[in-house]
Structure 1
Amino acid sequence: MILTYIAIVVALFFAMNIGASGTAASMGAAYGAGAIKNKRLAMFLVSLAAFLGAVLGGGEVVKTIGSGIIPSNHFSVEVVVIILAGATLTLFLSNLLGIPLSTSEVTVGSIIGVGIAYQSLYTDKLSIIVSFWIIVPVLSFFITFTLGKLIEYAENRWNGLKGQGKWTKWLSVLLVVGGCLEAFSAGMNNVANAVGPLVGANILSEGNGLWLGALFVSLGAITLGGKVLETNGKKITRLSLLQGSTVSFTGGALVIIASLFGLPVPLTQVTTCGILGVGAAKDGFIMLQKGVIKQIIMVWIISPLASLVVSYFLINLFARPNTYNLFIIVSTLVATIGTIRLSQIVRKEKRATYDEGGGI
């Protein structure tokens, strides 16, 4: 019974981090474009919209997370704690760094780690999910890039569309509505990442899980979402009101469609790629060289692998103790860290040699 309560507590903490990461990013375009200047108001609106999305439309993705990747009979209380711990740890660290991270990737990665440990994965369903992790963000980029070119032409011809004069109010309203739509889609798609394992293990019913998860996602968006909102809204590229609306409506529509088919997709990647699309249309592809873009891409690649390794390690440590597997994992980790550290030392010594005028 105590382990059950621990599983629920970890899931709710995870839900708060989902609100801080994926949900808060939904209003990044509106905040960056200046449609909402008050950060607290922006976070309140996304929390409300995400709550409604989770309650009204989150059921299909919950089913996928709870029984579509690995057989539901593997979802014991102990395994649920391990899945959520692996995903939560990865997401929490990314929030401390202020990096928008896909909760879908860390959750699915954590479940895959369990499936590998038990040698039981629905590979057909998993291949579809992973392929859509690539397809949907890329589609978002090209849609917003195309629309961004049209918007650039229209704004140059009609200055009012840049948010000047009487058009400012209405374009701002349009962008805020788009941000709320995107947050609604976040609720549909991402809340399942926290409560899906609980539903799969029959710890909570689907309805109770959605209501409870929605509540804590909203709480997380308000209390922890500030850094991610700043990253998506201000550090990637500045958007006009019309450009921001394009990002929000495109991302929201794509994620809602995926949610209706029960596919957990990386909302934050969809949003960020949309911002990059309009940014590339406006400033050219040179803006893709910005350091924050490289950092986000690195976290996207590492995050599912990190949560996979963590959950696989915990399964072999607690659920199915296996000394040999633990030894391999620890040895690989030590070798990787050692190699990175050694390369840093070598580069530092080379720089010191060149600076002192020595060497060949």
Structure 2
Amino acid sequence: MVETVLIVGVIASLFVGFNIGGSSTGIAWGPAVGAGLLKKTTAAGLMTVFVFLGGWTVGRNVMDTLSGDIITIEISLAAGVAVLFFIGLGILIANVFGVPVPTSMTTVGAIAGLGLATGTVNYETIAWILSWWIVTPIIGFWIGAFIGRYIYPELNRRVGIENSPGPLLTFDRSGGLPTPALGPNTTYRELVSTIVVLIVGCYMAFSAGASNVPNAVAPLVSSGALEPNPAILIATVAIGLGGFTIARRTMESVGGELSDIPLLAALIVMVTASTITTVLSSMGIPISLVMGSVMTIVGLGWGRATRPVTVREAVAGEAGEAEIAMGALTTEETAGAEPRPIGEAERSEVLDARDLFNPGAIIKYISMWIIGPTMSTALAYGFFVLVPGIA
């Protein structure tokens, strides 16, 4: 009987990890694949490797929080399987609404629901996690806003991410060992920028592993049915399968509804969101990578669009005749052009809010951050109240 329940639990973990891979791979590698810098299979392979590294290192801290700190009792194997079911249900609901699922938040909600039903919730840990869920979007927004106002224009002038036709590198095979050389149309600047894009993608994959690997297996680790090391391997395999299959579509469409931003802006968002997620994961805080990404995009656009006014005027709504429109990311200044100083309008004819992001999409994302964990908490609570013996 125990073996059967464990098999069901592993299948549930594989299902959760598979869907995580489909979503996270698109977020991490969509910009690079869309720019034609690497193939989808290469992206999925890199995703698998760095997800494993993130889960094996930083992810253990999140695993400890999910498996032992949210409630004061060990989760039984049957309860762990039930929790995984509610996590998978949360993913399914988010996919129906067409938004990246806040998996970490859904996982915390399902475990908290079990704790509420059994009277074993560690309220101090829950308050600690919730406080960071509130602070993280604010941090992401203001980092993006600062970069958009003061750094992005100069960075855009100095950095031009190019993608010339033909191979990036060629290899001279006349000698004993193949010698790499720049492709026929490749510039040194293009080579460096491509390497940066790949490094950023690997960094975001590492961050996704740190935050998401524990979500797929923590309930089984808490029950003692799986040790952390094999659990991390199972989650990595599942996420990798998702990356090689269903993520092919998300890599094509990522960012299409939220924003149509240039590759440089996408890289800034990826680095910012990955850093926030990695730091919080190292502290053992389950956090959604999507949360930091979305709010950094909004902040970056707000910072770019409000350059014609001061921060005080923008925040207080005292901009006067200077209209604050949120479309500054979609039209980059020409590389090499001198950025306009703050206080001087920048090509106002192209600054349209709908060009930066769909406000309805932002509302939908934020709503899912609230609805997802709330629903998983309520469903788990109701289930364990009705079936108390399973806990």
- Write out per-residue CA displacement over residues 64-109 of structure 1, whole angstroms, 9 at most, x where no aligned residue: 1001100233x01121111111111111232354311211011001
Partner SS state of residue 143, structure 2: helix
**Cα distance in 1 between the residues matched to 2:37 and 2:151:** 21
**Cα distance in 1 between the residues matched to 2:192 and 2:142:** 26
Kindly indicate whether residue 373 of structure 2 is the aligned counterpart of residue 304 of structure 1.
yes
Structure 2 gap segments, 5+ residues each: 165-186, 306-324, 327-352
Q: Could you state the TM-score of these two structures normalised by the residue count of structure 2?
A: 0.74
Corresponding letter in the other structure for 2:246 = L
Aligned residues: 318
Structure 2 residue aligned with 1:17: 19
Structure 1 residue aligned with 2:332: none
Alignment of structure 1 residues 200-239 onto 2, 5 Å: 200-230=222-252, 232-239=254-261
Kindly indicate whether residue 55 of structure 2 is the aligned counterpart of residue 54 of structure 1.
yes
Structure 2 residue aligned with 1:26: 28
Structure 2 residue aligned with 1:327: none
- Write out per-residue CA displacement over residues 237-288 of structure 1, whole angstroms, 9 at most, x where no aligned residue: 2333332221122122221111211111111111222222323334544345
Partner SS state of residue 121, structure 1: coil
Kindly indicate whether residue 383 of structure 2 is the aligned counterpart of residue 314 of structure 1.
yes
Could you tell me whether the CA contact under 8 Å between 2:257 and 2:358 is conserved in 1?
A: no
Give 1 or 2 for the bigger CA radius of gyration: 2
Partner SS state of residue 100, structure 2: coil
Structure 2 residue aligned with 1:69: 70
Structure 1 residue aligned with 2:193: 171
Q: Could you state the TM-score of these two structures normalised by the residue count of structure 1?
A: 0.80
Q: How far 1:49 moved relative to its partner?
A: 1.7
**Cα distance in 2 between the residues matched to 1:15 and 1:162:** 33
Q: How far 1:207 moved relative to its partner?
A: 1.2
1:258 to 276, 280, 298: 280
Structure 1 residue aligned with 2:263: 241
1:216–1:277: structure 2 CA closer, same or farther, 3 Å change rule? same
Corresponding letter in the other structure for 1:243 = A
**Cα distance in 2 between the residues matched to 1:136 and 1:312:** 27
Q: How far 1:21 moved relative to its partner?
A: 2.4
Could you tell me whether the CA contact under 8 Å between 1:29 and 1:239 is conserved in 2?
A: no
Q: How far 1:211 moved relative to its partner?
A: 1.5
Structure 1 gap segments, 5+ residues each: 322-360
Could you tell me whether the CA contact under 8 Å between 1:20 and 1:223 is conserved in 2?
A: yes
Could you list the runs of 4 or more consecutive aligned residues of structure 1 that deviate by over 6 angstroms after TM superposition?
Answer: none
Could you tell me whether the CA contact under 8 Å between 2:161 and 2:194 is conserved in 1?
A: no
1:155–1:76: structure 2 CA closer, same or farther, 3 Å change rule? closer
What percentage of residue pairs aligned between the two structures are identical? 28
Structure 1 residue aligned with 2:141: 141
Partner SS state of residue 287, structure 2: coil
Could you tell me whether the CA contact under 8 Å between 1:15 and 1:191 is conserved in 2?
A: yes
Partner SS state of residue 84, structure 1: helix
